[in-house]
Amino acid sequence: MAAKTDDSGPVLPPAIESAWGLRERPPKGPRPGMSVPAIVDAAVRVADADGLAAVSMSRVAKELGAATMALYRYVGSKDELLRLMVDTGYGPSPGPPAPQDDWRAGLTRWAWAEHEVLRQRSWLLHVPISGPPITPQLLGWMEDGLRCLDGTALGEGEKMSVLLLITGYIRNEATLTSQIAEGSRAAGVEPSEMMPAYGRLVARLIEPARFPALHRVLSAGVLDQDDDPDDEFTFGLDRILDGVEALIRRRSG
């Protein structure tokens, strides 16, 4: 977590302060042989290649040709490194909404951008997040999302709530999708066969009398057709945006 408090408020770990550019190198002592960004980049490279589980301090150090313990001069703990990895992994935010976009078009574009990041870097979903965002790029994403709601009749608190709602949805959807992908790889099943296999398994386990609704869903073959995962994403997103739209209309009227 972030934060001990002193008179000037909560205090950031050194490595995160340096991500904000708030830290100058002390004039004395030997020149550092590495840098926080180099370490974070190496860790991200490992995660991209072999998944988050492969990210150990020794593996990252090896990637850099350094000794394990050398890293601890730059990051306070592995948790801190993970936080910085998330910031780098998300990358720069997609930018403010285009001028011609209304709030819905803007948020949709924003949502797809996050969706795309999580699709390409599913290890981001496995990082145990331990608090609200405090790193520069993540706050950039938040800023750009909030801007989409500029000009709506929502209160500031409501804008934040809406954004939380949407980003939560995106993460959740991405988590489910990546679980299917990882599960199919682990079981050696074609990704397209994963949900049908799951459906058959559940059908064998449940008694129709005790699980009538579930049985009906399975009988309808819902899990057998492998529809485009993007359709599923669009479905949920549209439901949520419909709900937000209803709220905005109420506030406007």
Partner DNA sequence: GCTGTTATGCGTAGACCATACGCAGAACTA
Partner DNA sequence: TAGTTCTGCGTATGGTCTACGCATAACAGC
Residues 7-26 that bind a copy of itself (CB under 8 A): 8-10, 12, 20
- Least Cβ distance, residue 213 to DNA (angstroms): 35
| The only residue of 69, 105, 129, 246 in contact with DNA, by rule CB under 7 A | 69
Told to check if 31 binds DNA by CB under 7 A, we report yes
Do residues 105 and 97 make contact, with C-beta atoms less than 8 angstroms apart?
A: yes
Residue of 54, 64, 91, 161 that binds a copy of itself (CB under 8 A): 161
* Position among 35, 58, 68, 172 found at the interface with a copy of itself (CB under 8 A): 172
Could you say which of 34, 64, 127, 176 contacts a copy of itself (CB under 8 A)? Answer: 176
Q: How far is the CB of 141 from DNA (least distance, A)?
A: 26
The interface mask with DNA, positions 72-101, x = CB under 7 A, is: xxx--xxx----------------------
Using alpha carbons only, give the angle 194, 199, 201 rounded to the nearest 5 degrees.
Answer: 95
State yes or no: residue 234 binds a copy of itself (CB under 8 A). Answer: no
36 token code pair: 């926080």
Among residues 39, 36, 32, the alpha carbon closest in space to that of 55 is found at 39
CA 68, CA 23: separation in Å to the nearest integer?
24
227: tokens are 């529809």
Q: Is 126 in the site for DNA (CB under 7 A)?
A: no
By the rule CB under 8 A, 252 interacts with a copy of itself: no
- Least separation in angstroms between CB 246 and a copy of itself: 5
d(CA 67, CA 122): 28
User: How many helices (H) and strands (E) are present in the chain, helices listed first?
Assistant: 10, 2
Binder among 26, 27, 30, 128 for a copy of itself (CB under 8 A): 128
- Interface pick for a copy of itself out of 91, 183, 191, 229 (rule CB under 8 A): 183
DSSP string, 49-118: HH-GGG--HHHHHHHHTS-GGGGGGT-SSHHHHHHHHHHHHH-S---SPPTT--HHHHHHHHHHHHHHHH
- Which of 57-65, 106-114, 116-124, 126-134 is the region at the interface with a copy of itself (rule: CB under 8 A)? 126-134
Distance in angstroms (rounded) separating the CA atoms of residues 245 and 104: 8
Angle at 56 (CA atoms; ends 53, 57), nearest 5 degrees: 165
Least distance CB 238 / a copy of itself (angstroms): 7
Interface contacts to DNA, rule CB under 7 A: 25-34, 55-59, 66-70, 72-74, 77-79
